[in-house]
A and B are shown apart, each in its own frame.
Chain A
């Protein structure tokens, strides 16, 4: 017994050292996170029903993977620790078992089915764009967006507002560096909105993480999206399909405002359009 322990000791010690080292690296990598919070580590929960479901789905699958990982890596590390030649073990010779093969084919399959069920339900919900109350056409250009309010016959372009100086490190970068535009998309809260996404030159993709929306903008075709934002606020995203030189510089900024404020804003827009 004592013999046993003595043989294990060097291993344990090196393991401890390793753990200390890993802990330092780990802490280092989380130091930034601690400052900026959970947001910089994980998918945003978002502000729509769909975005919350997607977040839950994401976490569910994540934890399933973690659990499987713990079991598989646990077994492996146990084996690495216990079944090493330096502990004087002799190797077994078993090398086949149809029973275990069947078990570890069927169990993962069942887990997958368990994942597929909520995933399918969510997807079906996301694709249902019926009964929307208004329609906005979104067009990607190299390198800006255009928004057309189809129910009100007006539209505008939306450019990056960050200055070239800030990008070139010649001016201070503010909080919304690269995520700010000159004219944001304004939408009403509590309203089911249909969006028609297309592009004028190359493929772009309209991505707003807080709304769990991402759809490619394909020239010559229209893709459909819908959303229903619950909380007023300013939400930011970026073009998510490589579209050339300034792909990194065509952000999306959405202002979700209460319906009254939205109506007032629309009137202002149509008035200035007819002037």
Chain B
């Protein structure tokens, strides 16, 4: 079947429609949960389950196609372009939240505090409010009842180190893969996965700290909103990335990739680097500056 001039067109597939049903179930469930309906969480769980099944099925098919070398290098290239643009779309998704952070810090808060054209706003509507990022960044209405912001040089700095190291280990694993050093590959990848989950664990500790000791929640004005939105979505992406890497690790262990044919590995690595870079942005703009 492998024909270098013929593009491999997969047979009809039922996985996409299962994915749609799963996603739809999950989202309807989530919506019902938000509206306070008891059935919501069950639907959400069922939907997520279907999506997970779909992923196993769909990726399973692709993996077996890959292992039996059903498709040629051109298909591999299509996958690469697909992954590249998918990551670009993720970058733009984060851009929306970074944009919100930028807007809040650069415009809305200063205006509320009376800077520039905000002088009238401050005088007539929010008299006495002084905008100081991050100290009074819960806004003039003191939404959420006062909070302490998250310091940059504790856990967040450690987490930066953790993620940066994991970026290094995944590169190490990649080099090992290309050089055919199986042991190093598995070790490097294992370390990466471990560091990924360590990051998630530390992030969880940080959240508990925020909620219980700092009174910092999603409801803490624009500070809490941007903080949790950015770190939350990033955390979600780290989780996804770590899961992908776990699958790739398992595939490495069962001897799937060859030095010149390992798209899945590279895709996971790209994704991991993307997650890394987003974190650097977070560390600088959310925690540090």
Contact = CB atoms under 8 A, between A and B. Distances in A.
A50 interface: no
A221 B118 CA distance: 8
Nearest to B119: A222
A18 to B, nearest CB: 48
A192 interface: no
A121 to B, nearest CB: 21
B124 A220 contact: no
B120 interface: yes
A222 B112 contact: no
A255 interface: no
B146 to A, nearest CB: 20
A49 interface: no
B112 A137 contact: no
B108 to A, nearest CB: 8
Contacts of A222: 120-121, 124-125
A214 to B, nearest CB: 18
B111 interface: yes
A137 B125 CA distance: 11
B120 A220 contact: no
Nearest to A221: B121
Contacts of B126: 220
Nearest to A197: B120
Nearest to A218: B121
Interface residues of B, number: 9
B141 to A, nearest CB: 9
Contacts of B117: 224
A196 B112 contact: no
Interface in B87-113: 111-112
Main secondary structure of the interface of B (DSSP, over half): helix
Nearest to A150: B124
Interface string A208-251: 00000000000011101000000000000000000000000000
Contact of A196 (B111, B118, B120): B120
A220 B126 CA distance: 8
Contact of A137 (B111, B118, B124): B124
Contacts of A224: 117, 120
A220 B111 CA distance: 10
A198 interface: yes
A202 to B, nearest CB: 16
Contacts of B121: 220-222
Contact of A198 (B111, B118, B125): B125
Interface in A117-147: 137
A100 B117 CA distance: 46
A193 to B, nearest CB: 15
A224 B124 CA distance: 12
Interface in B175-197: none
B120 to A, nearest CB: 4
A79 to B, nearest CB: 41
A137 to B, nearest CB: 7
Contacts of A137: 124
A273 to B, nearest CB: 20
B164 to A, nearest CB: 40
A220 B108 CA distance: 10
B123 to A, nearest CB: 8
A221 B140 CA distance: 12
Interface in B116-149: 117-118, 120-121, 124-126
Q: Which of B112, B118, B120 has the most A CB atoms < 10 Å from its CB?
A: B120
A196 B121 CA distance: 9
A147 to B, nearest CB: 14
A139 B117 CA distance: 18
A127 B121 CA distance: 17
A198 B122 CA distance: 12
Nearest to B124: A222
Contacts of A221: 111-112, 118, 121, 125
Nearest to B123: A222
Contacts of B112: 220-221
Interface string A182-198: 00000000000000101
B147 to A, nearest CB: 20
Interface of B: 111-112, 117-118, 120-121, 124-126
Interface of A: 137, 196, 198, 220-222, 224
18 contacts: A137-B124, A196-B120, A196-B124, A220-B112, A220-B121, A220-B125, A220-B126, A221-B111, A221-B112, A221-B118, A221-B121, A221-B125, A222-B120, A222-B121, A222-B124, A222-B125, A224-B117, A224-B120
Given A196-B120, A221-B112, 8 more contacts: A196-B124, A198-B125, A220-B125, A221-B118, A222-B120, A222-B124, A222-B125, A224-B117
In the A-B complex, list the 6 residue pairs whose CB atoms are closest, starting with the nearest: A222-B120, A222-B121, A221-B121, A222-B124, A196-B120, A224-B120
